[in-house]
Structure 1
Amino acid sequence: MSETISPTFTFVKDGIFHFSRRIPQELRRHYTSPRIAYSLRTKSTRIAEARARRAADQLDEYWYHLRCQVTDLPGKHMLRLKGATLADDPEQQPAPSSSIKLSEAVSIYLQLKGRNRPVTFQRAAERACGYVIDACGDKDLQAYTKADANAFRDALIARGLAGSSMTRVIGTVRAVTNLAVSEQGHTLNNPFAGVYYDRTAGVANRTSVPADAITIVQAKCRGCDDDLRWLVTMVSDTGMRLAEAAGMTRDDIVRDKDGSLSAYIRPHAWRRLKTKGSERVVPLEGEARWAAQRILDQQTCSQYAFPRYNSADTTNMNTANASLNKCLKQHLPDGCTMHSFRHSMRDRLRAVECPADIVDQIGGWQTDEVGHGYGSGYPLEVIRKWMQAVA
């Protein structure tokens, strides 16, 4: 075989063969990327071909099992119900097993806690436990040791995860293992609890946008007067999360009886909300009111406030974030991004001595105090008073 021709499912980069295979469309929901690609760590065509073929065969087998999960079992109509079978012959009832692997624990966790949760919840659990399986193997939960937990931590560090990301991943693994063991009626001295790592490693400080920079940005947005600038302005004077603003419909912008405008932040099929407390009404004052009016003035058949970032399936947050940060880079101090406007809003509300629970309601921030869970929150006119003070 010629050394210039790459074997199937491979490509050459810097003289090293890499495996590459596109994930079938119907299985994309199980993955975080549309393609699997990694180094085969060889310059030999013969070795690369063998390794690529073996990897492809493993994927074919695994994808077959994934497809079987959503396909009716042949002869399913001929199966007897488990309860009827055991009633007819109790001796056939299998003894309860105390053994449960981590991959099975993920299924239990998602079955119990994954209902009515966004697809990101499932992906986070599968990804976190997948890291453990990559580092330590798919073991019985009782078989994992502190050495395994430390190896898992070291693997996360090697992946370049920041301390905050490691906290989320390790916390997810701990939750999965605790729930699965509890459901089996066992106890577990969880080795993934108390794992030490630097929680501040790689964590960048969140920076607020200074007041003078906000004024400059909003003036530039008025001058350009396009949908990109309306989105920036909407976020800058409301403190919304970018996804919340980008995923709004025109009907989410409501004109009240007195002519004032409000944004109803609510979940949509294409854009879920981060938390239950994120569903709220935000009065549109200052430049946010101008942006909302410009959106409503457009003659369009689209239901979306920002059509370029939305489809029936999703709000393309990555594209929105990248393009807006690029536009803002020359006008904002170093370290500031679109998300910095959210931090600025919190500081601006503090500056006018807005009560903390009103601040939380405006921003959709989670609060742990029990009393805040009672009632329906502050009336819209009270919230508007504080937003006018800020604007």
Structure 2
Amino acid sequence: MTLGSARGTQESTRELHMGLVLKYVQRTKKGAWRYRRRVPDDLRPILGKAEITKVLGDTEREALKAYPSVHQKVETEFRRARNTASLAGKSRPLSELEIQKRLVERFQGEGLNPYTSGYIDVDGVSVLDRPDWDRIAYGILESYPMDPRTGEPVGMSEEDARFVRALFSGELPPQPAPTLEDAKKFYLQEKVLVGTDKENKQKRLRVERVIKHATDALGGDRKITEIRRQDARLIRDHFKNELGVKAATAKRYLTDLKAIVSLAIREFEINSTNPFEKLTVETEGSGKDDRRPFTHSEVTAIRKRLQEHAKPDLQLIWAILEGTGCRVGEISGLLKNDVVLDQVEVPHIRIIPHEHRGLKNKASARSIPLVGETLKAVKEALAGAGDSPYLFPHYALNRGNDRASAALMKHVRSVVSDPKVTNHSLRHRMADRLRLAGVSEDVLKMILGHASKGITERYGGVEARLTLMKEALEKVC
């Protein structure tokens, strides 16, 4: 039995001559094949349409070939919509950009190209010549009852109305600017892995939470092009004053928000600056006294604690942090290729951005000499990494930086209860020890990743700078 020629049933099923069954397949009046499926009622507010229609091809062979991919895409769309509904907790109106996307999908579902001009020249006059477009538009209009007084369709959905207008006009309306909700969806799609594991769910919830707080502060969703600096300050103050979160949390929210908006500005090619760029969070007592360096006795006690209770890789991370002044993420995310020991005068590690781990800023990219116990720790880490490309496989991926930092802090807190002391206090300790040893401020900045390009260039090439930093670190390590 072939696909058959029955028409008109939305949830139709077609049986093939080999006994295969294809659900949601219909044959059009022109004899082509299409996939037509009703959208479940609970997903209509999310997807913004009552049904999904996709072209399968002009022949049965083309339909058979296209069906698996089309069916899978629709299943994926439904799954993502359900995920969105569960995260959001409730439906919301579609944004202008989402409506535009639906229009494009409607065009493509009918086998039409919305970006191709349908105008032809007739005796010097530009005339729209798209009979298929008119046929589809009239077909939609005829599916609705007409008001006998006005001749207008009754109960037409907004999406159908926009689609009909676009068909008759011969072109899509200009792409609208994305809103914060659009930026959030795009960020989730591009930057957050789609999955059901706990970590990915936490990432999605964090992005959802930040955007919700921002839109609450603004009184609703807002186009990115309409968000001004004063709006950004309003959101920042909402984080601090209305939500009552700590300064560190407010700062993290703003960092997330800046990243979400930056991606939208770049990928949607918006001619606008990011209103959240360089927006600071002021707190009581902020400044140099917020954190203090470890004392010698505290470091000694923590070393002893790690030796007795921590795994070897965590002990090695701490030893490297002590001897380099690096940030936790800079060490936990190292590749084995970042370690340079052979055929060089100064053994060192390269702190550079990777796909699995970025850096705080451009100045953070640097090379740091390995001396004394630090060099021994790195060699031991290399030996323990096995076949993994990462120096610390357990802490390299899936927010390994956070896990390493949290694990270290548990040991720190078992020794030091002062809230002004954290893992970062090792960097403060390194800075103080270098200053006390008479190391110049420029070399200190090169070691800690605070040096500007101008500073580094004054000290010659890479080898010269490594030698200077090695001499400085040998004074304190």
Task: Please report the TM-score for the alignment, with normalisation by the length of structure 1.
Answer: 0.61
Question: Using a 3 Å threshold, how does the CA distance of structure 1 residues 155 and 356 change in structure 2: closer, same or farther?
Answer: closer
Q: How does 1:330-369 map to 2 (within 5 A)?
A: 330-332=414-416, 334-335=418-419, 336-365=421-450, 367=452
In structure 2, what is the equivalent of residue 243 of structure 1?
Answer: 329
Q: 1:167 to 1:198 in 2, by over 3 A?
A: closer
Instruction: Quote the Cα distance in structure 2 between the aligned partners of 1:286 and 1:333.
Output: 30
Shift of 1:56: 5.0
Compared CA separation, residues 308 and 127, structure 1 to 2 (3 A) = same
Unaligned ranges ≥5, structure 1: 1-23, 37-54
Secondary structure of the structure 1 residue equivalent to 2:91: helix
Where do 1:295-306 residues align within 5 Å? 295-298=381-384, 300-306=386-392
The answer to whether the Cα contact below 8 Å between 1:255 and 1:261 also exists between their aligned partners in 2 is: yes
Give the superposition deviation at 1:217. 3.4
Deviations 1:66-117 (A, max 9, x none): 9x89x987737944363745897798678879x856438848x98xxx9xxx
Correspondent of 2:243 among 144, 159, 178? 159
Shift of 1:245: 0.8
Q: Are positions 1:132 and 2:209 aligned together?
A: no
Counterpart-to-counterpart distance in 1, 2:213 and 2:322 = 37
The 2-side partners of 1:264 and 1:383 are apart by 13
Larger Rg computed on CA atoms: 2
- SS in structure 1 at match of 2:369: strand
Alpha-carbon shift at residue 293 of structure 1 (Å) = 2.6
Question: Secondary structure of 1:264's match?
Answer: strand
CA distance in 2, matches of 1:341, 1:194: 26
Give the conservation status (yes or no) of the 8 Å contact 2:251–2:281. Answer: no
Change in Cα spacing, 1:366 to 1:323, as seen in structure 2 (3 Å) is same
Match of 1:291 in 2: 377
Structure 2 distance, partners of 1:223, 1:168, is 34
Which among 411, 416, 419 is matched to residue 327 of structure 1?
Answer: 411
3-state SS in 2 of match to 1:75:
helix
Structure 2 length-normalised TM: 0.52
Q: CA deviation at 1:163?
A: 3.6
Summarize deviations over 1:196-237 as a string: whole Å, max 9, x none: x98114968122112332244345556778222111111111
**What residue number does 2:113 align with?**
80
Distance 2:369 2:227 in 1: 54
Q: 1:18 corresponds to which residue? A: none
Contact 1:156 1:166 in 2 (8 A): yes
- The AA in structure 2 aligned to 1:132 is A
Cα gap change, 1:328 to 1:142, in 2 (>3 Å): closer
Change (3 A) 1:340 1:287: same
1:211 maps to which of 275, 296, 300 = 296
Deviation at 1:370, TM superposition (A): 5.3
Count of matched residue positions in the alignment of Structure 1 and Structure 2? 322
- The alpha-carbon distance between structure 1 residues 154 and 235, as it changes in their structure 2 partners (threshold 3 A), is same
User: Per the alignment, do residues 243 and 74 of structure 1 end up closer, same or farther by CA in structure 2, a change over 3 Å counting?
Assistant: farther
Q: 1:144 to 1:309 in 2, by over 3 A?
A: closer
Aligned to 1:276: 362
* Pairwise CA distance, 1:184: 7.2
The answer as to whether partners of 1:131 and 1:152 remain within 8 angstroms in 2 is no
Cα deviation, residue 262, structure 1: 1.6
> How far has the Cα of 1:248 moved from its partner?
1.5
- 1:299-326 deviations in whole A, cap 9, x for unaligned? 7233322222234xx3412221121111
Identity %: 22
For each residue in 1:322-376, what CA deviation from the matched residue of structure 2 results, as whole angstroms up to 9, or x when unmatched? 2111123233462322221122112122222222222222112264x85657775
8 A Cα contact 2:363 2:449, kept in partner: yes
Aligned to 1:199: 282
Residues 228-283 of structure 1 show CA distances to partners (whole Å, capped at 9, x for unaligned) of 21111111111111011111133322214478632222233322222222222111
Q: Tell me if structure 2 keeps the 8 A contact 1:167–1:199.
A: no
For the 8 Å contact 2:385–2:392, the answer to whether it is kept is no
Provide the C-alpha distance between the structure 2 equivalents of 1:307 and 1:27, rounded to a whole number of angstroms. 31
The one-letter amino acid of 2:221's match is D
Conservation of the 8 A alpha-carbon contact between 1:233 and 1:288: yes
- After superposition, where does 1:24-35 map in structure 2 within 5 Å? none
Q: Which runs of 5+ in 2 are unaligned?
A: 1-76, 121-125, 129-168, 192-199
Q: Distance in 2 between matches of 1:331 and 1:161?
A: 27
